Amino acid sequence: MTIEGNVLPLDRANVDTDQIIPAHYLTGIETTGLGKHLFAGMTGGAELLAAHPDASILVTRENFGCGSSREHAAWSLVDRGFRAVVAPSFARIFFENAYNNGIAPIVVDDAAIDALLAAPRLQIDLEAETVLAPDGATFGFTLDPLRKQFLFSGGYMAFLAAKRDAVRTWLQRRAKGQLVQET
């Protein structure tokens, strides 16, 4: 599976989820329609989006998505058409939320980010785990071997649903004191 698209270069570190979507937009009960609030809490956010109206790949600096657990950050990116975020590092909860919503969180080093911020367009091969820039430069990355399936099928909930019987069995064993750890 390949993600090919235009880049939105966000040359900032520590972009927190309050900047991605401020809390006063978290008053809904659905996961859709949040793209219009993307980067509403970010100085210059609206201008950046206007300059890259059809971007589907966000390239940014370290610790992207830190702060609040709000999955609305991922939902607003999805609604706006983003399919990948490329950064040197992610905050844990956003990283998980990205996988669970079909946004590929691509980790490459700082030097690669320097190059990719300048690329107008990228090709990301999720199977080969490579990012290809228009000038031919290629950067490798590693996806989480478990979570990458959620990118293709969106199946976090389906994955867990299939585990329910196993979990109940485990719980019965715990209740009977049959787990080694429960000594």
Partner 1 sequence: MEMSRSDLQSKPRSLFEKVWDAHVVEELAGGNALVFVDKIVAHEITTPQGAFEIERRYEDKLFDPARIIAINDHVSPAKDTETAIQAKVLRDWAKRHGIVLYDIGQNGICHVVAPERGHVEPGSTMACGDSHTCTLGAFGAFALGVGTTAQGGAMLAGCLIVQRPKVMRVTLDGRLQHGATAKDLALTVVATLGFKGGTGYVLEYAGDALATLSMDERMTVCNMAIEAGATTGLIGPDETTFSYLRGRENQPTGDAFERKVDGWRELAADPDAVYDREVRIDLSALRPMVSWGTNPGEAVPIDGAVPANADAGSLRYMDLEPGRALRSIPIDQAFIGSCTNSRLSDLRAAAEVLRGRTVSIPTIVTPGSQAVKRAAEREGLHDVFQDAGALWTHSSCGPCLGMSMGVLAPGARCISSTNRNFPGRMGTGGRVHLASPAVVAASAVLGRIASPDELAVEALAAG
Q: What is the DSSP string of 66-112?
A: BS---THHHHHHHHTT--EEEES-B-HHHHHHHHHTT-EEEE--HHH
* CB-nearer residue toward partner 1: 18 or 125: 18
Shortest Å, Cβ 4 to partner 1: 26
Cα 45 from Cα 20, distance rounded (Å): 9
Q: Please report, as ranges, the residues that interact with partner 1 according to CB under 8 A.
A: 12, 14, 16, 18-19, 22-24, 26-31, 41-43, 62-63, 66-71, 74, 89, 91-93, 96-97, 100-101, 144-147, 156-157, 159-161, 163-164, 166-168, 170-171, 174, 179-183
Shortest Å, Cβ 86 to partner 1: 17
* CB-nearer residue toward partner 1: 50 or 180: 180
* CB-nearer residue toward partner 1: 135 or 181: 181
What is each CA distance from 39 to 46, 142, 163, 178, in whole angstroms? 7, 27, 37, 50
Shortest Å, Cβ 39 to partner 1: 11
Shortest Å, Cβ 14 to partner 1: 6
* CB-nearer residue toward partner 1: 128 or 171: 171
Cα 35 from Cα 74, distance rounded (Å): 10
| C-alpha closest to that of 107 among 74, 168, 60 | 60
